[in-house]
A = this chain, B = another copy of it.
Amino acid sequence: METTQRTDQRAEQQSAAERRRRELLEAADRVVLRDGPGASMNAIAAEAGITKPILYRHFGDKGGLYAALATRHTDALLASLRAALDAPAERRERVEATLDTYLAAIEARPQVYRFLMHPAEGSPGDSGFDVGRHSAPLLRRMGEELAEVIEERVDLGPGSQQLARVWGHGIVGMMHAAGDWWLGERPCTRPELVRGLADLLWGRLAAAGDKVGGPGF
């Protein structure tokens, strides 16, 4: 039958194209991990053993490729975070596990992290904003996910949904900034950082007393 044949062919080609896409993404991954976020399309194409136009046929433009790449890693990271977040444990324990999961991830693959968070936003031509929608998406998605979990598990009274979103994004930002700083300076061990942040979230800032024994005051 012609139709089935055509369908089979289509399907085969589709899957072949998807396999190809995966290969290209893995090649791009290697290059980005090696050269940082500034990796050029030529370099990626060379690593994949092909030339530029094929990349463009598959991903549209550089932003598309980067978005596809970012989505892969983002999905992976979000899955681990969700696991830590949904564990059947005490709230504080879950918070600490989530923080630790995130920090362990960025510690294990700082290049990936840098790519996801500090991508090149070079705007070629006059467009200016069609490229580089990666760093925001990851933080946003993490914030939204956390907001969901908060909203469905913590009793916040009226206006809980809005408050949960504020907290979700706020906590994610706290985790992100502290992690970025920690990764750069390594001022303490990971458990120490986790504990410090959890203490902050647990209201130690409000509970601590004023310092009065200071010099001359």
Residues of chain A touching chain B, judged by Cβ–Cβ distance below 8 Å, are 35-38, 91-92, 118-123, 128-129, 135-136, 139-140, 143, 152-156, 162-163, 165-167, 169-178, 180-182, 184, 187-188, 192-193, 196-197, 199-212, 214
Contact = CB atoms under 8 A, between A and B. Distances in A.
Contacts of A201: 200, 203, 205-206
Nearest to A160: B211
A196 B163 contact: yes
A177 B120 CA distance: 19
Q: Which 7 A-B pairs have the closest CB atoms?
A: A203-B203, A173-B177, A38-B123, A122-B122, A166-B196, A174-B174, A170-B178
Contacts of A214: 152
Nearest to A214: B152
Nearest to A203: B203
Count identical subunits in the complex: 2
Contact of A128 (B38, B155, B203): B38
A92 B206 contact: yes
Contacts of A206: 91-92, 201-203
Given A120-B121, A155-B209, A172-B177, 6 more contacts: A37-B123, A91-B206, A155-B211, A166-B200, A167-B200, A170-B200
Contacts of A173: 173-178, 180
Contacts of A200: 166-167, 170-171, 201
A157 B214 CA distance: 13
A36 B196 CA distance: 37
A177 B143 contact: yes
Contacts of A172: 177
B180 A177 contact: no
A176 B177 contact: yes
Which of A136, A140, A170, A208: most chain B CB closer than 10 A?
A170
B174 A205 contact: no
